[in-house]
Structure 1
């Protein structure tokens, strides 16, 4: 009697943004420069988080140094940290052409910022429309809330409420 080895289907995860050309997300493009407009769509929009090589310790045998890849955190004059994110590959490359763009939804970027103990996201550093998303706004984005315009201003709305 011959036993066949088990068959395993190999599959790769589907890309989160198939066909992405690296341009500004169509939902973000018309609202860049409008703080509330950006906040209203950022959670579901695709942004790019820059990943850079960070040199580690020299190998025990005196050989090459190790290198790790890390998201970029910026430290402000007040000591608070912010995760950098960009709306397009071109904006990221203008900041640092050596950085690797990793596409994520804005909500995932906010969650990553909080996981790294950052208190903000700096969106499009070095661009004319750059913006800081911080404190309560960052928490609302990470939670999946949506900024809605009301007759008296804006309010964060939790899905299902």
Structure 2
């Protein structure tokens, strides 16, 4: 909820609308809408959607009242919901993803916002400023049009890139054989994990429950306590990698014995 002068609270001032939106009619950016439609059909990569978001206007919802705990469908994981929370001092909404991370919902147009919550008041801002606000609140994700027509989750590295005004480079790239981990990310994973004692092989591939899977070959004779030590060390080194932090949204570890 804004103050009496129409200004958002200080901690969310980065999404305060500017005079450039004085004549905004609430319609969607035509190019962004086309890219989202193509993404839904599988013909447009998320990278192109994010690139357009970098120069597009979105609408941030502000709600005077909200039933905390309401849920909306997760755009990328059927059967899993995003749970709604509210920033009490401002009415700005956060969605909680199944993994516990918070997301800022943004909308391409007034109609898509009304389909989500008819009572929401749209605040027009550049998507980059919305991303900056999310980062400032320690919210990891953006969700574009969570009630459709094309709901899309913008992953944490892409949110950071939008906030910083840089180009997002996804950790996964499309090859002739399907998705693969980008060479720079794979090299960073190996650089982090290979020096750990008892790790004899390292690779990275698209994950099952996370974006990237780190596949470790471990000495066959290692007991459970020793394996736990190795995994803690690998996790710590991966967490300290700038490339992994900047480019990978989420990681999972897979372990196999080497004989």
State the TM-score, normalized to the length of structure 1. 0.71
Task: Select which of 28, 46, 51 maps to 2:62.
Answer: 51
Question: Do 2:127 and 2:162's aligned partners in 1 also have CA atoms closer than 8 Å?
Answer: yes
2:30 pairs with one of 5, 16, 26: 26
Q: Deviations over 1:128-151 (max 9, x none)?
A: 411001221111011011358xxx
4+ runs of 1 displaced by more than 6 Å?
none
CA distance in 2: counterparts of 1:29 and 1:125, whole angstroms: 14
State how 1:1-161 maps to structure 2 within 5 Å.
Answer: 15-33=19-37, 34=39, 35-54=46-65, 68-147=89-168
**CA offset at residue 15 of structure 1?**
1.4
Q: TM-score, normalised by structure 2?
A: 0.45
CA-CA distance at 1:36 after TM superposition:
2.3
Distance in 1 (alpha carbons) for counterparts of 2:56 and 2:106: 12
SS at match of 1:19: coil
Q: Deviations over 1:70-99 (max 9, x none)?
A: 211011221110001000010001100101
Stretches of structure 2 lacking an aligned partner (at least 5 in a row): 1-16, 40-45, 67-87, 175-181, 183-259
Relative to its length, the structure with more strand (as a share) is 1
- Higher RCO (C-alpha under 8 Å, 6+ residues apart): 1
1:32 match: secondary structure: helix
State the distance in 1 between where 2:168 and 2:120 align: 31
Q: Please, what is the CA RMSD of the aligned residues?
A: 2.4
Cα deviation, residue 25, structure 1: 1.4
Aligned counterparts of 1:68 and 1:115: Cα–Cα separation in 2: 15
Show structure 1 runs of 5+ residues with no match. 1-12, 56-66, 155-161
Alignment check: 8 A CA contact 1:27 1:45 kept: no
Check the 8 A contact 2:18/2:125 in 1, yes or no. no
What is the deviation of 1:54?
4.7
